[in-house]
């Protein structure tokens, strides 16, 4: 690492990015309302993994409700309920491949 400045720089950038992600997730866990946690978690994922589509940003990730619940310190039942509410209000959609689309976020 010392002999390769480019490698050191790349590692440092990766560490900084990971630290920011961790801080954002910790901040989400401090939110009182689960609806806010789920919405914030999906927005974080969209920032890193979202791909523009006609209706918003598509999450090209396969996450179970249990995985989301574990990340947010809640139950699978609660995540399922909140995702249903977000779909009802039009904030969240499922596309043809059953991937989540955050419809309120700008494309690009």
CA distance 59 to 95: 10
Alpha-helical (H) ranges within 50-101 are 65-71, 76-88
Give the domain range for residue 77.
31-102
Residue 96 lies in a domain: yes
CATH of the domain at 43: 1.10.10.10
Cβ neighbours of residue 54 under 8 Å, at least 6 residues apart? 107
C-alpha span between 84 and 80 (Å, rounded): 6
- The tally of domains found in the chain comes to 1
Q: What is the reported pLDDT for 38?
A: 95
pLDDT tens, per residue, the chain with 108 residues? 778 889 989 999 999 988 988 888 888 788 889 999 999 999 999 988 899 988 889 998 888 999 999 999 999 999 999 999 999 999 999 888 888 999 865 444
Mapped onto helix, strand or coil, the DSSP state of residue 79 is helix
Which residues are 22's β-sheet partners?
A: none
């Amino acid at each position: 690492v010392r002999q390769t400045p480019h490698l050191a720089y790349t590692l440092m950038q990766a560490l900084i990015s990971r630290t920011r992600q961790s801080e954002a997730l910790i901040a989400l866990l401090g939110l009182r309302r689960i609806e806010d946690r789920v919405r914030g978690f999906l927005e974080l994922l969209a920032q890193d993994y979202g791909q523009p589509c006609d209706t918003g940003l598509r999450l090209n990730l396969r996450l179970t409700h249990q995985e989301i619940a574990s990340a947010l310190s809640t139950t699978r039942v609660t995540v399922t309920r909140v995702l249903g509410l977000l779909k009802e209000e039009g904030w969240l959609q499922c596309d043809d491949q059953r991937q989540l689309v955050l419809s309120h976020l700008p494309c690009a």
